[in-house]
Amino acid sequence: MKHPHRPAALHAALRFVITSEMPAEHKATLIEVLTQAIRDDEAAELHRQAAARAQGEWQEQEIVELKSFLHGQTARSWQHADECVMQIATRLHRDPAAVRLKATELGLGTAVDYRFVRQFKLTRDE
């Protein structure tokens, strides 16, 4: 794992090199090296995030968006539940099954799975 201040340090070093007085050939080389290091770090972070998503790891902002989208919703039919799942799965770039599972874990199953709505109705009517 890289030092958490590395991106800021690389950007500061790049600004320093750009504004400093040094021979042009050295300056160009240092700018190129620092710029490539920044790009490599950013690409590695994007790769790490993609791997986390593939493994099912949810980011906090994804959970917030999922809760916000499904809050107060109750599926009116199987089709409505599937439409809700597909819409939020598309927005989150997630597998619909993973979205349905996470929503259920968060207590929002009635918005994404009509079985929960039917079960609730059956127990309420008894």
HEC assignment per residue over 21-87 = CCCHHHHHHHHHHHHHHHHHHHHHHHHHHHHHHHCCCCCHHHHHHHHHHHCCCCCCCHHHHHHHHHH
pLDDT mean over 21-50: 90
pTM above 0.85, yes or no: no
Is the pLDDT assigned to residue 117 strictly greater than 80?
yes
> 94, 85 in Cβ contact below 8 A?
no
Supply the pLDDT for residue 106: 95
pLDDT band, very low/low/confident/very high, at 52 (cuts 50, 70, 90): low
